Structure 1
């Protein structure tokens, strides 16, 4: 009986810290990246595809051939903005075009350029995607295709 109690007490921490909320796995990130890349290739666009977890940490990064290196940081910044604010970066882009929209530029991690989308599972944010390499509208189209691949 004593050994059983010791075993229960030793396993409780493992049970307590088990993953209970939805999360974005590497397999999910690869599937999203593949869907985004397929859309980009179908349109003849070369881009950088960044996938972040719900804390804004990089899970996956793919740089297609010929893309400028500056797009690596831009794709990650778009994805970070989308996960931090739980909304599309297109919303910030639209607001920045309006009167007083320049205030958005003062928000830390807010990127006012389309191409970043949050990724939700069961209504809970699990990560984000950021695309950079073509026009912002085209980046948005690719990001949407990636999220649909999830």
Structure 2
């Protein structure tokens, strides 16, 4: 039998805090979410000044990334490339850059979604938080 790794609430809060700290350092007002490997919400924060719509966008980006095991940017690139035939999902809002999978020892344990600044900056916030989190286990 294999061991299954998963995010604890403490792990999710660490990721959220690391992303929040990075966003604050860069004067970004964003919404940040962490979901488990099934795309279910673990923690969420909408910073002061972040537009209300960013909360839903962050959740959808994280869910998209968890379900696909890929950064949500992949789908944004497919859409921009005109390959729209496969798009049958209920919502397309998650298919924007800013969703990042969290992989530990090759296993998907969850994903982060960030929304509120330019999409590459949303992704950067999540990537920095994930790098800080995984560095704890190196």
Residue of structure 2 in register with 1:10 after alignment: none
Q: CA deviation at 1:122?
A: 1.3
Is the contact between residue 80 and residue 109 of structure 1 (CA under 8 Å) also seen in structure 2?
no
Residue of structure 2 in register with 1:94 after alignment: 77
SS at match of 1:145: helix
Task: From 57, 62, 68, give the equivalent of 2:51.
Answer: 68
Residue of structure 1 in register with 2:123 after alignment: 140
Residue of structure 2 in register with 1:122 after alignment: 105
Distance 2:46 2:109 in 1: 22
Task: From 11, 28, 37, give the equivalent of 1:54.
Answer: 37
Residue of structure 2 in register with 1:80 after alignment: 63
Q: Which runs of 4+ in 1 moved over 4 A?
A: none
TM-score of the pair, normalised by structure 1: 0.81
* Structure 1 residues 67-88: Cα deviation after superposition (integer angstroms, max 9, x where no partner): 1111111000000000000000
Give yes or no for the alignment of 1:23 onto 2:9: no
TM-score of the pair, normalised by structure 2: 0.88
Number of positions where the alignment pairs a residue of Structure 1 with one of Structure 2: 131
Residue of structure 1 in register with 2:136 after alignment: none
Q: CA deviation at 1:37?
A: 1.0
Distance 2:111 2:86 in 1: 20
Task: From 87, 97, 105, give the equivalent of 1:105.
Answer: 87
Gaps of 5+ in 1: 1-19
RMSD, aligned CA: 1.7
Distance 2:109 2:65 in 1: 11
Gaps of 5+ in 2: 134-138
Judged with a 3 Å threshold, the aligned counterparts in structure 2 of structure 1 residues 98 and 130 are, in CA distance, closer, same or farther, namely same
Q: CA deviation at 1:54?
A: 1.0
